[in-house]
Amino acid sequence: MAHDSVPAWVDPMLAKPDGDRLREGPQWANEYKLDGYRVAMRIGADGTTALTSRNGLDLTAEFAELTDVLTAALRGRAAVLDGEVVVYNEAGQIDFGLLQQRRGRFQKHNAARRTDPFEDVPVRFLAFNLLLVDDQLLLDQPYEQRRRLLTELPMPNPFRITIVPSFTSDELAAERLTPQRLLERVAAEGHEGLVAKRLGSPYLPGKRPDFWCKHPPMQTREVIVCGWRLGQSGFTGTVGGLLLGAHAPDTGDLVYIGDVGSGFTRQERGQLRDRLKPLERAGHPFAAAPPREDVVRAR
């Protein structure tokens, strides 16, 4: 889809792991880390809005309800905001699973060539950076200046757009908080952790510098889905569990590290089955055979 009147897309700057050491001190601000889709909101002087994913994909049609949230408030100024599109569950927590389910329903809506508006699960844009305003590119401006300009933008519809919470060291101290206590608070609220950002840092498109450091509330590990087992009892005909693998850091071999079978709804189990069945192969992909009791009945 062409968006000729909107400002150019900016390759997003990324955060790097903080090595399990929370950043603190007067040169840092800590923002909530969100579990959604990273999206650039690009608004032309005429109000035309484009929504672009982290990988440069056009998501404007998918999140059409977000395309006019700032048009009137900007009063003819162009702008580019960096942020996250999220969905909230009934408990008031950001829920990435619901966002993924919404995407699946949107794709089916599109595949059916329906022309009626897609107004399924409500989405919200949470902004954390202002990259351009009134044709002024702000990439070389320090984070604290971009943040100040962002907070000066009117946010007319809090159901559709707001600004990600951020705390300087003084703001934390005023609430008797440390970065660790803030991390505990955001984890209890269901957020994905914290991102520490240096107040004086520029915005480096496509880079992952030391200026932004992410800290999850728990240690995570990237794994590979290597197999699955059919469910039993109430999950008959769907996925009962996933067999997981990871590459050994010393040899690079794919090794079996265990399985997981909880945390999925019945609908998600059926969707997993449909995605995994066409990928079936004759034998397991691991460098060494897993325990027989773990792979019996496995696909």
- Closest by alpha carbon to 163, among 149, 182, 142? 149
146 token code pair: 């971009």
Which residue segments constitute the domains of the chain, with CATH numbers given? 16-215 (3.30.470.30), 224-295 (no CATH)
- The 10s digit of each residue's pLDDT in 118-177 is 888 999 999 999 999 998 999 999 999 999 999 999 999 999 999 999 999 999 999 999
- Closest by alpha carbon to 185, among 158, 165, 214? 165
Active-site hit among 33, 108, 197, 207: 33
**33 labelled catalytic:** yes
pTM over 0.85, yes/no: no
- The 10s digit of each residue's pLDDT in 246-270 is 888 778 889 888 888 777 788 888 8
Q: What are phi and psi of 196, to 5 degrees?
A: -90, 135
C-alpha–C-alpha distance, residues 265 and 108, integer Å: 19
User: Nearest 5°: CA angle at 240, between 95 and 299?
Assistant: 120
